[in-house]
Structure 1
């Protein structure tokens, strides 16, 4: 695997990070496991890097197809992307954001001196037969090879909706910071549908470094930080 965002922060920026990441976890699984609580509550970590919710946003094990309408030749332009996003997507996203907000609130209550830093992911590029997005789109007649612009426009709508929710939390909770990674990874800097190359990871790490340097002294890695990341954490 190429270096991740966390690898770059550890090696190039020399942040002392205790990494509890596990590929493929859903947000619910990450919260239920709660592996990060001992370090946060004890004061071992003063900053909590959290990357989750992407798997859930894509439909989890059921896949993204359940959130998409069948391809319609009368809605074949990228400007028609909103037509394909079912209400079920927004209903599911509401639940995901509720779980995410609940975690922010619990971190504030149980570890009031800890600053939680999260992100909502860059714009994924669906690929034909891609295991995370492409297969699901092809199931409903959307082929990332022949309808690339339309498929990418659909992903932009979904990704923007998730980012908007997380950005709202940053405006509401003093213990939460949001890093916007949209547009950071170039089109030729994706290793697969979801994960960037080393060059892409370096760009996302630079965004995180800028955020971490802006934190007050109580949240600037005087002690180890905890990172938790799901499979959809491609920007990591």
Structure 2
């Protein structure tokens, strides 16, 4: 199951950013408003409903769900990146979030939060042994991105290899 990426890093991303960072918070969370956390809660609920319905309907089904790797937001202020597509970097720059490493820390926070929620969901007793979380964070290195959110073919290969390893683990545990 692959989902939530557009909800988190797509066009909606711009609406998750506060106008002014929370001065009482020194973490990357200071840039995010409640809409982000509401969206995370909605996604968790939708995943829960979907997993429940699928597993009720198909008793032998095993679901694999993943998070996303740490994208590298395009630094649109850098002239070298003038022609690169940006989904998140441009919005962070518009909100004066910088420098680039600060923007990357925010992306890490967001994707760690998404992964944490998926991990919490998969650990529910009703999904034990039926749903596997595939952690794809940290697989694609800085030089293996095609654009801001899509890896190159070698980057996708790294993600695919991770899925193959997880599928093999599940096969060992389940008699197919």
Q: TM-score, normalised by structure 2?
A: 0.83
Residue in 2 that maps onto 1:159: 111
Is residue 2:7 matched to residue 1:52? no
Higher RCO (C-alpha under 8 Å, 6+ residues apart): 1
Distance 1:65 1:53 in 2: 15
Following superposition, the deviation at residue 105 of structure 1 comes to: 0.5
Counterpart among 138, 156, 161 of residue 206 in structure 1:
161
Please list every run of 5 or more consecutive structure 2 residues that lacks an aligned counterpart in the other structure. Answer: 77-84
Is residue 2:67 matched to residue 1:120? yes
**Would the alpha carbon gap of residues 71 and 141 (structure 1) be closer, same or farther in structure 2, given more than 3 Å must change?**
farther
Please list every run of 5 or more consecutive structure 1 residues that lacks an aligned counterpart in the other structure. Answer: 1-49, 223-236
Structure having the higher strand fraction is: 1
What are the superposed Cα offsets for residues 174-226 of structure 1, whole Å, 9 maximum, x if unpaired? Answer: 32111001111101111111110111111111110110001147968x7xxxx
Counterpart among 140, 144, 156 of residue 95 in structure 2:
140
Structure having the higher helix fraction is: 2
Distance 2:147 2:64 in 1: 25
Counterpart among 130, 136, 149 of residue 194 in structure 1:
149
Q: TM-score, normalised by structure 1?
A: 0.63
Matches within 5 A, 1:26-65: 50-58=1-9, 60-61=10-11, 63-65=12-14
